[in-house]
Amino acid sequence: MTEDRQTDRQTDRQTDRQTDRQTDRQTDRQTDRQTDRQTDRQTDRQTDRQTDRQTDRQTDRQTDRQTDRQTDRQTDRQTDRQTDRQTDRQTDRQFIQTYT
């Protein structure tokens, strides 16, 4: 009976070790998966943020350029009109003075 007990104990220990190893492996796998998922999510978020920022910057630059061009055109047109009007007035005055 003593041999039986020893054998039983050994078997129990072996089984316990195997079970522990399996449990450890499973836990490790699960932890790895979770960590991988979290890391993937974080990386995705960061990438999305960066892409959004870059896109926003580009869009802002383009919009700024367009706005600047439009403003410049308008200002140039107004200045040209004013200059033309003044020149016309002066020419008219000179004409009137000359022929009066």
Q: What is the DSSP string of 59-74?
A: HHHHHHHHHHHHHHHH
pLDDT confidence bin for 3, thresholds 50/70/90: confident
Q: What is the DSSP letter of 1?
A: -
At residue 94, the pLDDT reads 94
| Banded pLDDT at 4 (limits 50, 70, 90) | confident
Q: DSSP assignment of 31-88, as one string?
A: HHHHHHHHHHHHHHHHHHHHHHHHHHHHHHHHHHHHHHHHHHHHHHHHHHHHHHHHHH
Contacts 24+ apart (CB under 8 A), 7-11: none
pLDDT of residue 53: 98
Span 19-74, pLDDT tens digits: 999 999 999 999 999 999 999 999 999 999 999 999 999 999 999 999 999 999 99
Candidate from 8-12, 19-23, 59-63, 84-88 with smallest mean pLDDT: 8-12
Q: Is this model's pTM higher than 0.75 or not?
A: no
